[in-house]
Amino acid sequence: MHVHRFERVWLVAALSMIVLFVGTVTFGAVVAGYGMVDAEGGQVDPTDPTTSESFREPGVYNGSEAGHYDVYVETRRFAFVPGTTEPIRVPANSTVTFHVASADVLHGFEVVGTNINTMAIPGQKAVVTAEFDKAREHGIVCNEYCGEGHHDMAGTLEVIPQSEFNASAEVQ
Ligand code: CUA
């Protein structure tokens, strides 16, 4: 069977693209550690996560080890609680686990300049951990369309020096 040269070129190009796309997904899952919002975080009340056993009043908490913190964030149209009205403050040189849950519709929780980027699915808690080595400010944005105020849904994460953090005593 004679296959025209251009036909062959396109066959190779199409097959290469499939291999490339499957490769990027595999790389993300295996090497870069991208994951799904799965059962790990547990289920929460889709209208009031704070009533659920796996969630707490939104805020910053001391973690199980020194230098570790847990931050509970509620997403609601169109704010991060905390984050929007009040910035989230954590100390530099810390490991922070964010527990994110929505109180209404699907939202996103992306901390700009870090690899934190998760969906907040109603009824499901998302858990993401990151290390913050130096003091700086990060923006927080919602990247899932959640309604007419979506483009205004933003917040701030302030990574501050440990001494300043101790003095502020906002941690619970
Ligand atoms: Cu919340 Cu878009």
Tell me, yes or no, whether 75 and 18 share the same domain: no
Ligand 1 mean position, distance from CA 91 (Å):
27
Tell me, yes or no, whether 74 and 135 share the same domain: yes
Tell me, yes or no, whether 53 and 29 share the same domain: no
Number of domains in the chain: 2
Ligand 1 mean position, distance from CA 22 (Å):
29
104 in contact with ligand 1, CB cutoff 6 A: no
76 in contact with ligand 1, CB cutoff 6 A: no
Tell me, yes or no, whether 96 and 129 share the same domain: yes
Nearest CA to ligand 1 atom 1: 107
- How confident is the model at residue 116, as a pLDDT? 92
150 in contact with ligand 1, CB cutoff 6 A: yes
Tell me, yes or no, whether 60 and 29 share the same domain: no
- How confident is the model at residue 171, as a pLDDT? 65
CA atoms within 13 A on the CB side of 1: 3
146 in contact with ligand 1, CB cutoff 6 A: yes
Ligand 1 mean position, distance from CA 44 (Å):
19
Query: What CATH number is attached to the domain comprising 65?
Result: 2.60.40.420
3-class SS letters over the chain: CCCCHHHHHHHHHHHHHHHHHHHHHHHHHHCCCCCCCCHHHCECCCCCHHHCCCCCCCEEEECCCCCEEEEEEEEECCEEECCCCCCEEEECCEEEEEEEEECCCCEEEEECCCCCEEEECCCECEEEEEEECCCEEEEEECCCCCCCCHHHCEEEEEEECHHHHHHHCCCC
- How confident is the model at residue 2, as a pLDDT? 86
Domain interval for residue 142: 39-170
Tell me, yes or no, whether 128 and 54 share the same domain: yes
Q: Is the whole model's pTM more than 0.85, yes or no?
A: no
Tell me, yes or no, whether 128 and 147 share the same domain: yes
119 in contact with ligand 1, CB cutoff 6 A: no
140 in contact with ligand 1, CB cutoff 6 A: no
88 in contact with ligand 1, CB cutoff 6 A: no
Structure tokens, 32:
């870069």
Tell me, yes or no, whether 69 and 130 share the same domain: yes
pLDDT in tens, the chain (172 residues): 888 999 999 999 999 999 999 999 999 888 877 777 776 778 888 888 888 888 999 999 998 888 999 999 999 999 999 999 999 999 999 999 999 999 999 999 999 999 899 999 999 999 999 999 999 999 999 999 999 999 999 999 999 998 888 877 666 6
Tell me, yes or no, whether 72 and 136 share the same domain: yes
